[in-house]
Structures are given as structure tokens and as C-alpha cells.
Chain A
Amino acid sequence: MAVFVEVDHVDRVFNLPDGGEYIALKNIDLHIHKGEFVSLVGHSGCGKSTLLNILSGLDQPSAGGIILEGRQVTEPGPDRMVVFQNYSLLPWLTVRQNIQLAVDQVMGHHPKAVRKRMVDHHIEMVGLQKAADKRPGQISGGMKQRVAIARALAIRPKLLLLDEPFGALDALTRGGLQEQLMQICQENEVTCVMVTHDVDEALLLSDRIVLMTNGPEAHVGQIVDVPFPRPRERMEVVKHPNYYSLRNEIVYFLNQQKRAKLQRAKPAVAVAANGLEKVNLELGFIPLVDCAPLIVAKEKGLFEANGLSQVTLNREPSWNAIADGVTSGRLDASMMVAGMPLGITLGYGNQRPVPMVSALTLSRNGNAITFSKRLFDQGVRSPADFKAALDRRPDQVHTLATVHPTSMHNLLLRYWLAAGGIDPDRDVSVTVIPPAQMASNLKSGTIDGYCVGEPWNARAVAEGHGVVLATDNDIWAGHIEKVLGVTEAWANQYPKTHVALVKALLEACEYCDDRRNREEIAEMLARPEYVGADETLIRQGFLDPYDRGDGSEPQQVLNYIQFFTGKANFPDVTEAVWMMTQMARWGITPFPRNWLEVAERVKRSDIFGQAARELGLLDIGRDRHSIQLFDGVPFDPDHPLDYLNQFAIKRDLRIEEMPMDVVRR
């Protein structure tokens, strides 16, 4: 579909009376297709309305521009009609005259009779025949809004801009008008951009929802695609399997923005106490069973016991949010997918490299590869079967999902596919989706399979949409999974706090692996503020026999998730090098020529060792070892390039020296 409206790197800077500047919008880049309905959602003062004014031409961007059908927008015009927040009807004109004024002005070249029909048609369309000769002062808010919409549509704009059109209306009127607007837009194929505060309204009406971050320097934080089929019915939309996960994602985003605003309002001053540099920590987590160490440390008072008296856990919407949060300083530390500290240090996805430190592994195992029931019914049981299925239907694109480019899910899924002769970039498409949305996307058929941590495999199995084809134990038993990650700058600034944090979490990990505690932990995790999933799903594998959904008897899996046993927590350099080979293999990061230096720099066994000694936990370090996955290819940490080169399926390798500054502390 051709781009209809292009918002091209728009900035808007306001000059303040005191001579300063206020940067309201920064680098907004957005493409809107013809007939698309896009909503702008964000907190008050995030510049949504400013962006809408720039789209209409009432305001001019300070940099960048708006291009409508190939032509730059420089002034307001009737091809971009606005439905203003407060209706903006002229009070001295009747309903009919208000619409007529617009029609006469814009369609002056048509004969009078045609214009009159046009006016009458639109009055009828919004059902205002009886009020046509009343003035705005004599009709209700809902009716005024209908007049404003009729006036806007009557002049056949190319782009309809709506500024919180239903904000001032009562719920009943709003519902009715939303449906009317949806129907009218559908019938007339109008391209719409709407500013709103109402998440449900945005989900009902939009094809895409653009989430804006808070000002100053507001920008597009996230774009949510709304996949509900059209024509939409309110009740059907609400029942759609993706509805609540999408809604949650948006609400999370907004809550997170609110928190960011609060944090900005009271600058995060490090509160020093208990002999530590900083005791007020913001930690991030993702709703997964393996976030248990953080939850346990919080609930069982292990943070306090180690002097960290003001720890806040932040439930984050996606791994990307975690990466941004830690590098921007919004979060002090966070649970991370295993490859994330390395990935950020190496500048994954062409981002600016930020040196990271990981002194603790939080968990091992706990993932599974789930395929849709449909593929399973076609006989897909292994990568080889899947390859056969792909070869049978070369016209179909199969999409698999993981949670982050640097996560073990991505690396293991790709390894598993490639070992079966499937190129994960050419034969299938691998996409990134937040964990909590996997099952619903599988159900809706947007993806055909995924690799994710629990309880999101269990959910697809329980709902009967998916079958677990492989667990970690089938691919690489006991692999590194989640780690604690902080920036190197943070680790250097708060060394004692860092050790205290590692100690608290290490104790929590030990607690988690005592099976006597797991009933209690499962109950904790199920709470809505943590994982918020059904407890029976969380117990799958964690406590109860694991049901793969393939018809076999559920089996008790040993070490389904390992938090402590088997020297689980040591920051293992060998694993770090293996992950760097795999990230380089798929073009996620370059492979550093100084790979050992990078691995040693990120994996801080010295901090881990100090914490373990202070806790009196001895002999939980790991020695150098070699790694072997299910296909039996050995990995020798001394010769990673040989290992990389022997893979048949890989991307072009980039091997680069990673400049690490000499001064360490």
C-alpha cells in the first residue's frame, strides 16, 4: 500500500517568553496509508494535539515536514479537515448553516442544488434532520459533535483529523458516536488520525495506535498494530483473543510513562544508607516464571536483609523496554535475557554500544518451543518434519516468534531450526513479540510457533492451540537463561550496592530451588502485580508434571527451571563466548576480535565471588568447560571462530575489534 501521509522527522520547538526553548516534539516519523485509521495516544502534554495541528497545517514544524500525497503541507486546507475538541461550531449559525458554510466554501464550483443535497445528505447521515434549523446553543454536546463530524465529512477531506472528538461526552453517547464514526469511515474510506486518551476507543477504531512518550522531546514510543478484522463490532472486538493483551500493552506503556514522569519530577537522588551508596533501586522484570528470584527477594525481605531498603519492582511490557530502561537510567538494574548485556555492550541492532555488566545468572532452562496445533496435526514433530512441511508449501510464509534478538529463545530457536536444515531468515520469518502476547498471537494465527519461557507455553497448551515440540532439556540442558544486568557506569558508581543486590538475589535463587518453597512461590507469582497468570499454568513444570500437549502423559521434568542447583548462578565466560558466536552468526552483533576481553568485561566473576563469599556460599564457581548442544557439535571456547565457520547456515560474519577503554574502575 502506498504511503498516503508521511510525517517526516518532525520537530516542534516553542520559544519561551524567558528566551528559552521548549522542545515539544522530537523526530516524529510516521507513515500513514490510505484508508487507515491511526490513533495518537499518550499522556496530557505529550504533544499529541501539537502533532495533529501540524498535520492540519494550523501549526508548522520547526524541522521536518508533512507530505500528503507527495505534496508538502504548508498551510491549513479543506483536504485535511479537523474535528475540533470543542466542536468549534459557529453559535450564530444553525446546524444547516454551519455545514452549508463549509460546503459552499469548498464545493463552490458545484451547482447550488448539488450543494444543498450534499448538506441534507450529511445532516441525514448523522441523524439530525429534526435539529437542522436549531443553533448550536439549543442542542446537546453529542449532537454538536455529530454536526462537527457531518461538517467535516461533507467537504470530502482526504484526511480527517479528530482531536479527542468524544472526550466531553457521556459514555452512552460516546459509544453510539464511535460506532457511527467507524461505519462512516468504513463506507467512505476516509483516512483518519485521531487523538484520544481512551485506550478502548483507540482499540475499537484504529488500525494502528501510536503511543507517544511524555514531553519534553516527545517521540513515538511504540506503535501497536490492531489486527481485529473489519467491519468491527464492539462486542466482537472485546472478545478477540488479542484484545486484553493489546490493551495491557498500551496501559503498561502509559503507566510506565507516568512513572517516568514522576521520576523526572523528583530526580532520582541516590539515597545512601546502611553503608551502601544507594538503597533506592528501581528494578525491572517481565512477567515470567523465571522472574521468581526478584519477586522472592522482595516478598521475603531479602533486599532489606542486605541493606537495600527501598527497592521497587517495575513490571515492564517488553525486553526492549528493559534495555531502554537500564541504558537510560530509568531502571537501576533489571532481569535480562542472557544475551542482552553482551548485546548492548556490542551495540546490537546498530545501536550505540553501552558497556554492561552481569555478575549473576538468575536462572537456567525454563523455555520451550511451541508450534501451532495446526502444524502438529500436519505431522510436524521435529525440525526435519517442519522442513518437509515448508518444502511442501513453498508459497506460504511461516512466522515464528521470539522475545528479543539477544535472548536465548532467539538463539536456541535459530540453532534448532538451522540444525534441521532450515534457514531462520530465508525459509521462515522470525519476529519479536513480548512474552505475554505469544499465546494469543498463536491463537489468532498471526504466528505459527514460538520459543518463550513459562507460563506462556503452558497457556497455549492449556488452551489447545499449541503443542510443545522441544523443551530446553531437549536442546541444551542447563543453559544460561536470565541474568542480572546493570550498566558498567552504574556498577562502578555503586560497587557496594551492586554486591548487596547480587547477594540478595543469590539468596533468593537459593530459596527458589528448595522445592518446599515452590508452592508458596507459585502462589506469589500468580498475583496480578507479578505474572498475573492462572496458578495452574505457573505450576506446569515448576511443580506439576509438564504437559507438552502432544497427547503424551505429562511428565515430571527435572530441573525444568534451575535457579541455584548445579552452580547455576556463576557468570560463565564460556557461555558468553558461545552467545557471541550465535549473535554474530545471525548478524545481530559483529563478533569481537577481542572476544575474551569483552566476555570478561561483562561477566564479572569478581563481584559474584565477593557476594558468594560474604554469604558463605562456597564452591559455586564454574570452571572453563566446553559446550555441546543436542546436535553434538562441540564448542571450544578457545576457538570460537572455527566453531562459527563450520556452520552451514549463517549470515555474513562481521568480525570487528571492540574498543574497550583501558581504565576499568
Chain B
Amino acid sequence: MTAPLDIRPTRSRFNVARLSQQALNWLKGLIPPVVAIVIFLSIWQVLTMGPNATLPTPIRTIQDTWELIINPFFDYGGTDKGLFWQVWSSLQRVAIGFSLAAVAGVALGILVGTSPLMYSALDPIFQILRTVPPLAWLPISLAAIQQAGPASIFVIFITAIWPIIINTTEGVRQIPQDYNNVAKVLRLSKPTYFFKILFPATVPYIFTGLRIGIGLSWLAIVAAEMLIGGVGIGFFIWDAWNSSRISDIIIAIVYVGVVGLLLDRLIVFIGTLVLPEEQKK
């Protein structure tokens, strides 16, 4: 690190040998999961081949849902829309609910973390409320808000906020004593302390909270939509069940899983952009 930067050997951007080597490594990494999936599908195929099978075979599933797979963007009005639109409207609800939860959760978390009084007063309440399953909130939010859309957004909000609050609080409380000592010795002003030390030091914890929160939100939205109806991937699954389109359900489940994974990765990715090297643990 002390070496002068200019004496490092310059690297060509297009080093064919290196690129092909990387590609090869990437492909090698892909082999185990692909094999696992093939085995899983084979077992599924074998188990559902009998005449009395209640679930379709994987091949059958693909045949049944081919229309849905090749055209996710159709829109025939009402709830009869392509899977993309179904997922999209679910994501919109999650985006609104989760954003509100993030803002409120971080603010509350910092408040509770910095004040021992608040901590002792509110932490037990948070600990109780965070264990409530998301769907248990639905009736009360429907009763209070009286509208299906906002009610489901509220469910997302109330589901996602607890891990965000708790992790932010923990982050504030876990600020290394060293940093606080620096602040004390330098007699940093309150705003400077907040922006230069407290907030940056808490960011890794906030991202942990956000990551857990987004996972819970996605869980909650599918369940909530099943009950509330309208356009959305959750209601799509419920609708398919009512119409005995088992293959549709299976394909929707794959969509839900992939989207959930992508959301999680998105938060991690944003985290890597924000956090400096030393705080990534």
C-alpha cells in the first residue's frame, strides 16, 4: 500500500486469456446447483408420474403454463394480467410500505438507541409486537383503514418496521466506545456527532435490519393479497387455486421465490455501495 501507484504494472482491459479463465470459473461454480436442480426435478417427475398423482409433473407444469411463461406482459383487463404485472403491483405495495417502514424504523431506532429511558420504556413493547405474525395485523388494519389497498400497505409497514427498529437501536448502542471517546475528547457538537459518527457507525446495522425487513415484507404481501384480492401475485395464486390451476400456482411460486431473492440481493448491493471497506463484516 505504501508502494507508489505509478510503478504498478498496467493491466490490459481486454485480456482474453484472463476473461476466458474467469468465464470458466463461473461455469464451474454453476455445475453443483444445476445438478441439484436436475435431481430435484427428476424426483418430482418420478413421484408425480403415477396415475393417482395429485400434483402435475414438471413437464406437465411447463406445458400447462407455457402461455404464462412466454408472455408475462399481457393485460386482458381486470385481474387477468400477465405474471409481470401481477408481480409489479405487489412490488409497488411493498415499495411503499417498506419505504415508510425504513424511514420510521431508522428514526425510531436512533431515538430509542440514544436514550436509555426510551430504550427501557419501548424495547419490551417492540419485542412483543415483533413476534406478531403479519396476517394477524390484517383484520385490525382493515377495520381501521376500511380500504383493501392501504390496509395491505400497512401490513407491509408493520411487518418490516420491527427488525429495522431493533437493528438500528442495536447499532446505536453498539457504537464502539473508541468513536464516542474521540467525540468526547474533541467535544463534537450534537449535529456533528450525529452526522460524522452516530449515523455512519450505525449504517451496517441499519442495512441488516433493512435486509430482514424486505424479506418479511415479501412474505407478508403474498399472504395479504390472498385475502384482500385485486391484482397481485398473492391473489393470482389464490385465484389459481380456486380454479384448480395447480400448474399456475407452481409457476407463480417460482416467481415469488426469484423476486424475493432479487429484493434481498438489491439491499445487499446498495449496502456495498454505501459502506466503506472496514465496516463490511
Contacts and interface: CB of A to CB of B under 8 A. Distances in A.
A63 B214 CA distance: 53
B277 A138 contact: yes
Contacts of A136: 278
Interface residues of A, number: 31
B86 to A, nearest CB: 41
Interface string B145-176: 00000000000000000000000000000001
B186 A137 contact: no
B276 A92 contact: yes
Contact of B197 (A84, A90, A137): A90
B181 A88 contact: yes
A143 B3 CA distance: 13
A101 B2 contact: no
Given A137-B276, A137-B278, A90 B182 contact: yes
Contact of A101 (B176, B196, B201, B203): B196
Contacts of A387: none
B192 to A, nearest CB: 7
A84 B178 contact: yes
A130 to B, nearest CB: 7
A507 B70 CA distance: 108
B158 to A, nearest CB: 32
Contacts of B185: 56-58, 76-78, 80-82
Contact of B179 (A76, A90, A138): A90
Interface residues of B, number: 25
Chain B contact surface mostly = helix
A140 B189 CA distance: 30
A80 B184 CA distance: 11
A139 interface: yes
A106 B186 contact: yes
Contacts of A90: 179, 182, 196-197, 200
Contacts of A101: 186, 188, 192, 196
Interface string A122-139: 000000001100011111
B186 A135 contact: no
B188 A105 contact: yes
Interface in A61-91: 75-78, 80-82, 84, 86, 88, 90-91
A260 interface: no
Chain A contact surface mostly = loop
Nearest to A92: B200
B222 to A, nearest CB: 37
A84 B178 CA distance: 8
A93 interface: yes
Contacts of A91: 276-279
Contacts of B4: 130
A139 B276 CA distance: 13
A139 B192 CA distance: 25
Contacts of B200: 90, 92
B136 to A, nearest CB: 39
A213 to B, nearest CB: 27
A281 B4 CA distance: 63
A137 B200 CA distance: 15
A78 B187 CA distance: 7
B1 A140 contact: yes
A58 B178 contact: no
A632 to B, nearest CB: 69
B185 to A, nearest CB: 5
Given A101-B196, A105-B187, A82 B181 contact: yes
Contacts of A78: 185-187
Contacts of A139: 1
A380 interface: no
A80 B185 CA distance: 7
Given A92-B200, A135-B277, A139-B1, A105 B186 contact: yes
B276 A105 contact: no
Given A105-B187, A106-B186, A140-B1, A92 B279 contact: yes
Contacts of A105: 186-189, 192
Contacts of A75: 184
A137 B276 CA distance: 8
Contact of A76 (B2, B187, B201): B187
A88 B276 contact: no
Nearest to A105: B186
B181 A58 contact: yes
Contacts of B5: 130
A118 to B, nearest CB: 14
Nearest to A84: B178
Nearest to A56: B185
A101 B187 CA distance: 11
Per CB-CB distance, the 10 closest pairs between chain A and chain B, nearest first, are A137-B278, A91-B278, A137-B277, A88-B178, A92-B200, A76-B184, A76-B185, A105-B186, A92-B276, A88-B182
Given A105-B186, A105-B189, A135-B277, 12 more contacts: A58-B185, A77-B185, A78-B185, A90-B200, A91-B276, A93-B196, A105-B192, A130-B2, A130-B5, A135-B276, A137-B278, A139-B1
28 contacts: A57-B185, A58-B184, A76-B181, A76-B187, A78-B186, A84-B181, A84-B182, A88-B181, A90-B179, A90-B182, A90-B200, A91-B277, A92-B200, A93-B196, A101-B192, A101-B196, A105-B186, A105-B188, A105-B192, A131-B1, A135-B277, A135-B278, A137-B278, A138-B1, A138-B277, A140-B2, A143-B2, A155-B186
